[in-house]
Amino acid sequence: MGQDWNAAWRQQVLLTLAGETWDLIVIGGGISGAGILREAARRGWRCLLLEQRDFAWGTSSRSSKMVHGGLRYIAKGQWRLTRDSVHERQRLLDEAPGLVEPASFMMPHYRGGFPGPRVFGGLLTLYDALAGRRNHRFHSAQQLGFMAPGLKQDKLLGGTCFVDALTDDARLVMRVLAEARADGALAINGVRVQQLLRESGRVCGVTIEDVERGECLQLQCRTLAVATGAWAERLRPNDGHHQLRPLRGSHLLLPGWRLPVAQAFTFLHARDRRPVFVFPWEGATVVGTTDLDHTEDLDHSASISSEELDYLLAACAQQFPQAEVVASDVLSTWSGVRPVVGSADEARQGTPSNETREHVLWIEPGCVTLAGGKLTTFRPQALEVLKACAQMLGRDVSDDGAPVFAAAPMLPIAGLSSSQWRRLAGRHGRDLPRLAQLLEQLGCATVGASDALWAELAFACEAELVLHLDDLLLRRSRIGLVLARGAEDYLPAIRELCQPRLGWDDLRWETEEQRYRDLWQRHHGLPDATH
């Protein structure tokens, strides 16, 4: 019988939590919660983060992978959101190279289409002004023939190129959490907050359940921050009106060879004039995203619908007609639920794409709830939450401009290319020395055609609180998305490497493997109607 190392560590830690009084407890292990924990920890607060499933389980591992200012927010008059976004985008590019990387985006223009080169160029001039640098250029139709072979040519006028950024969203969360832990914070997954504790009308703690063992206990805190995304209203008293409007965005992942693109493309879908993106990511090609009301149970993973699949395939056919992409080409899918703040009056809600992406804070004594928001602006959002909590503690919090990420140590690692080193430094930061020891033992081989190294899987098992197999294959690494059939062909080798490091006996591994296969088929394969 194996010893489940993570379960043993969790049990020991949970037993000590009840005797503590925390300055801050953060509920939610996505990018928002991780950002709040990081900003509190570096200021010396005694802080704890609780995540009911896995870090980045929800929206923060199922986003469109973009770190961007949001061009469309300018058109909607959301200047502050765009300004903050482009500034934070640059900060992340500077602080986390290898994790957040610049990406060239191309908007093709067609005769009679909107927006034309002049209108779009004017929008980008404003965008660049907010960013403080010029980052766009127009290319003729002839130039695009060389830059983007396979692009729809009929009535093509040319294309405007601009610069934004891409990331691995789940690894971004893990890196932020690692920085918080380095400054003394504690973050635990698999812990569900059942209810808030109140005393004299003030939130003073939480009742929690260890999801893995079923044990319950109470924790005391001086302030509480709720950063649970689309689930933010569950712990908050309300009058029956729901202000959060869960919106689903679904994506397709295609093999890179099936729809090869050297840069990101953005264009308006012919069906509804919504922006769609096609871009290279992790050696594959992403097609996304949809934007529609998510009416299903939030406690279950979101899944792509047959209608969304058809919509995204139609986008491929529209813009890359020669590729003739069909459903059987799809490697995997993912769907995320955006926590958008809608009108309190549901009758006044408009189309999903027109809802604001601004965030709001809901404040009650002892508790601050973050509703809405964007991945790109997680740091200023975290500071707003922390300032509100600090007022309740009689403390002062200001934006001192300190970096979110410590620089990764410059280690010579034999066998790695410069691009591999940059990638590992971006994803693992301070933990690079420990990963380097595993690279010495296991070598620098990648898992199949993915960019992930076998040593990264070993590191995740030993150091990143893997509770279930899907944590490892879908979030600590992305091989369950980028390798065919959820990396099914590699499961025996993964078992040989990871089972002893996780301390799982044979029955546990086999149970986890079946659980993972079922989960992948339901939530990352094609919708049932296409089988």
User: What type of residue is 218?
Assistant: Q
Domains of the chain: 5-60+170-242+351-393 (3.50.50.60), 79-166 (no CATH), 245-341 (3.30.9.10), 418-530 (1.10.8)
**SS3 (DSSP) at 128:** helix
Residue 439: burial class (beta carbons within 10 Å; 0-12, 13-18, 19+): buried
pTM for the whole structure: 0.95
Percent of the chain with pLDDT over 90: 76
Cβ(100)–Cβ(172) below 8 Å: yes
d(CA 16, CA 4): 19
Percent of the chain with pLDDT over 70: 95
d(CA 497, CA 330): 28
pLDDT, one tens digit per residue, over 199-237 is 999 999 999 999 988 889 999 999 999 999 988 888 876
The pLDDT of residue 277: 96
pLDDT, one tens digit per residue, over 138-184 is 999 999 988 898 999 999 999 999 999 999 999 999 999 999 999 99
> Taking the mean position of all CA atoms in its chain, how far away is CA 232?
17
The stretch 512-528 carries a mean pLDDT of: 96
Strands (E), 111-227: 136-140, 156-167, 186-189, 191-199, 202-210, 216-226
CA-based nearest residue to 451, from 333, 286, 282? 282
The pLDDT of residue 261: 95
CA-based nearest residue to 437, from 418, 417, 409? 409
Helix axes 432-442, 418-428, angle to 10 degrees: 130
User: What type of residue is 284?
Assistant: A
Max intra-chain CA distance, the chain: 71
* 482 token code pair: 């980028």
The pLDDT of residue 349: 56
The stretch 327-337 carries a mean pLDDT of: 97
Cβ(383)–Cβ(397) below 8 Å: yes
pLDDT, one tens digit per residue, over 270-300 is 999 999 999 999 999 999 999 999 999 988 8
Query: Residues 519, 529, 309, 472: what is their CA dihedral angle, to the nearest 10 degrees?
Result: 10
d(CA 288, CA 65): 10
The stretch 118-135 carries a mean pLDDT of: 82
Q: Label residue 348 by pLDDT band (50, 70, 90).
A: very low
pLDDT, one tens digit per residue, over 104-113 is 999 999 998 8
Its sign, for the CA torsion 406, 410, 414, 418, is: positive
Q: Angle at Cα 77 formed by Cα 71 and Cα 82, nearest 5°?
A: 45
Peptide linkage before 115 cis (omega within 30 of 0): yes
Q: Label residue 422 by pLDDT band (50, 70, 90).
A: very high
pLDDT at 391 > cutoff 60: yes
The pLDDT of residue 42: 96
d(CA 370, CA 193): 16
Q: Angle at Cα 381 formed by Cα 379 and Cα 387, nearest 5°?
A: 100
Q: Label residue 448 by pLDDT band (50, 70, 90).
A: very high
Q: Label residue 531 by pLDDT band (50, 70, 90).
A: very low
d(CA 173, CA 425): 15
Cβ(33)–Cβ(49) below 8 Å: yes
